[in-house]
């Protein structure tokens, strides 16, 4: 399928059309976008509205692992692991330019560690069966040090190597949006859903506002799905009579912090996995786009900020644990960027009668009495399976007619072509088969950012133009946080590039970039640099 430039004016004109959509989706994270693609691939007419940018919520803040979930195996939830392993294979096949296999090493410091973790991970292999990405291996101490050159050597008795996957979450989100768009879905960022159209107690559509122009829209839809992540309760709240009490919240957010440090802290291509930290959690150090991601935490949170701040103890915990396993100990001064994501932990409400169904997996789908469908929880890896579950529920509730599933199992996303390892600095390889188109744009060899370690160009003028022409980026943050991942990798460098990127936005979108937008981005970059 061809890559086409996307004109926002034309998209908004489609939003103004007097028509009824089969499916209207609220939220452009992994869940909503995966659903949009599945539904349009089945021939439904699909509208998706995202109030900020695609993946601005949790979906740009994952640990970037495409995984079966080793911990569910330990809990005996074999069905869930099998499903995630199947989805791992599917994702790696459909988006090889942004999702690849990756080797993880668990270092062992007690004699029991290697057989204990090795046996569990062999089981993981067995469960994967033909979908295994490579055999689990027991390692000597020497081999463990070869694969993890900076692992703490003192007391090391060996290790276990196993395979999972990693990905670029925000770029995958944009690819889902574009692929759905190419197939006929109307997918818009920076348009917020502000209310629901209700008739006779049933949801018949939604109200929305364009975040750029302030224009209001009313849209009719046979089925409305609330895929607003940790924000699903605010959309559920739109689905009640003025005099009714607010519904009991179904999400209890919990935040996870990631710190990014230089590659020198974990050189090589293998990730480090600590299955049990001092307080019983899991910690990863993962090579990603030329840097090392350290994380994560799991801290209950009572507010729903778009940019949650890390807590002092969370930063201490990650640095402290990383320091226990790495010979080159990271400190606060080494952190290039800190970002925080909110997990939507689901508490199914008990007032939905028989229509409530907590699925026997991580995510929950609820069909409310009004017909509003709400989905939340789950993980990035299983977004496609979640989409199938949601459509099954919509069809079972009579909101959509029956159409067979399985259509996205083999549905390559735009540009799908194998590329260089995701552990290396960003570059043209992330564009897969669209790299030729990228190189044809002005400024293909004008590098705005060159990776210091590899000396390779990581962000070109052409990539910024590509983001604005083809990837629906609308401003500084969209370009520097989610089309390029520079804000997540090196926030100080991202702040420095705001000026040249602003000039390209003015050239491509023919609009001035205001002082307020520049100041907002500078403040955001500062947040990603500020440790409590």
Ligand X SMILES: Cc1cc2nc3c(=O)[nH]c(=O)nc-3n(C[C@H](O)[C@H](O)[C@H](O)COP(=O)(O)OP(=O)(O)OC[C@H]3O[C@@H](n4cnc5c(N)ncnc54)[C@H](O)[C@@H]3O)c2cc1C
**Contact residues for ligand X (CB under 6 A)?**
26-32, 49-52, 55-59, 61-65, 192-193, 227-231, 235, 256, 296, 341-343, 376, 378-381
CA atoms within 13 A on the CB side of 467: 29
46, 36 Cβ separation under 8 angstroms: yes
Burial class (CB in 10 A: 0-12, 13-18, 19+), 415: buried
Q: Choose between 370 and 381: whose C-beta lies nearer to ligand X.
A: 381
From the list 487, 500, 494, 502, the residue with the least C-alpha distance to 307 is 487
C-beta of 51 vs 136, nearer to ligand X: 51
Partners of 366 in the β-ladder = 356, 374
Our CB check for ligand X shows the closer of 28 and 419 to be: 28
Q: Distance between CA 13 and CA 188 in Å, rounded?
A: 12
Q: How far is the CB of 376 from ligand X (least distance, A)?
A: 6
Q: CB 118 → ligand X: shortest distance, Å?
A: 23
Question: Which residue, 108 or 229, is less far from ligand X as judged by CB?
Answer: 229
The smaller minimum CB distance to ligand X, of residues 235 and 289, is found at: 235
Cα gap 282→276, rounded to integer Å: 5
Tell me the β-bridge partners of 108. 158
Nearer to ligand X by C-beta: 378 or 432?
Answer: 378
Closest distance of CB 202 from ligand X, Å: 20
Structure tokens at 78: 């074999």
Q: Of 29 and 158, which CB lies nearer to ligand X in the complex structure?
A: 29
Quick check: 488 and 337 in contact, CB under 8 A?
Answer: yes
Q: How far is CA 273 from the centre of its chain?
A: 20
State the nearest-atom distance from the C-beta of 254 to ligand X, in Å.
Answer: 7
Is residue 461 within 8 A of residue 307, CB to CB? The reply is: no
Q: How far is the CB of 58 from ligand X (least distance, A)?
A: 4
Question: Residue 251 Cβ, how far from ligand X at the closest point, in Å?
Answer: 10
Residue 497 CB burial class (10 angstroms; 0-12, 13-18, ≥19): buried
The minimum distance between CB 253 and ligand X, in angstroms, equals 9
Q: How far apart are CA 66 and CA 479, in angstroms?
A: 24
């Amino acid at each position: 399928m061809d890559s086409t430039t996307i004109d926002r004016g034309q998209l908004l004109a489609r939003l103004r059309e007097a028509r009824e959509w089969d499916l209207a989706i609220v939220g452009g994270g992994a869940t909503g976008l995966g659903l949009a693609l599945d539904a349009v691939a089945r021939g439904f007419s699909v509208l998706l509205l995202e109030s900020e940018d695609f993946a601005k919520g949790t979906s740009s803040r994952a640990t970037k692992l495409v995984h079966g979930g080793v911990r569910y195996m330990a809990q005996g939830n074999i069905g869930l692991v099998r499903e995630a392993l199947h989805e791992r294979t599917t994702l790696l096949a459909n988006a090889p330019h942004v999702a690849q296999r990756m080797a993880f090493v668990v270092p062992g410091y007690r004699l029991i560690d290697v057989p204990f973790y090795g046996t569990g991970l062999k089981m993981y292999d067995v469960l994967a069966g033909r979908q295994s990405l490579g055999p689990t291996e027991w390692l000597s101490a020497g081999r463990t040090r070869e694969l993890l050159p900076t692992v703490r050597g003192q007391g090391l008795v060996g290790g276990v190597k196993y395979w999972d996957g990693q990905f670029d979450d925000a770029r995958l989100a944009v690819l889902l949006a574009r692929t759905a768009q190419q197939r006929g879905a109307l997918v818009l960022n920076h348009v917020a859903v502000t209310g629901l159209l209700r008739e006779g107690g049933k949801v018949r559509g939604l109200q929305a506002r364009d975040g750029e122009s302030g224009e209001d829209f009313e849209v009719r839809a046979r089925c409305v799905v609330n895929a607003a992540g940790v924000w699903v309760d605010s959309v559920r709240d739109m689905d009640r009579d003025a005099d009714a009490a607010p519904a009991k919240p179904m999400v209890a957010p919990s935040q996870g912090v990631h710190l990014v440090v230089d590659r020198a802290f974990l050189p090589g291509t293998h990730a480090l996995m600590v299955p049990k930290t001092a307080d019983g959690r899991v910690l990863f150090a993962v090579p990603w786009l030329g840097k090392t991601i350290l994380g994560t935490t799991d801290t209950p949170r009572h507010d729903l900020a778009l940019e949650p701040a890390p807590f002092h103890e969370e930063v201490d915990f990650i640095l402290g644990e990383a320091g226990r396993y790495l010979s080159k100990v990271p400190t606060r001064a080494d952190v290039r960027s800190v970002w925080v994501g909110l997990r939507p932990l689901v508490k199914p409400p008990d007032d939905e009668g028989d229509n409530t169904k907590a699925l026997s997996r991580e995510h929950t789908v609820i069909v409310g009495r009004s017909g509003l469908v709400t989905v939340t929880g789950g993980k990035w890896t299983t977004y496609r399976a979640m989409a199938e579950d949601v459509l099954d529920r919509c069809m079972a509730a009579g909101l959509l007619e029956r159409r067979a599933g399985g259509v996205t199992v083999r549905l390559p996303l735009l540009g799908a072509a194998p590329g260089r390892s995701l552990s290396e600095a960003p570059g043209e390889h992330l564009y897969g088969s669209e790299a030729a188109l990228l190189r044809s744009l002005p400024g293909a060899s004008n590098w705005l950012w060159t990776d210091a370690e590899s000396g390779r160009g990581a962000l070109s003028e052409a990539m910024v133009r590509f983001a604005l022409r083809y990837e629906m980026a609308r401003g500084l943050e969209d370009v520097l946080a989610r089309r390029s991942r520079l804000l997540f990798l090196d926030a100080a460098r991202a702040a420095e590039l705001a000026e040249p990127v602003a000039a390209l936005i003015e050239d491509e979108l023919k609009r001035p970039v205001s002082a307020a937008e520049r100041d907002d981005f500078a403040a955001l970059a500062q947040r990603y640099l500020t440790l409590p």
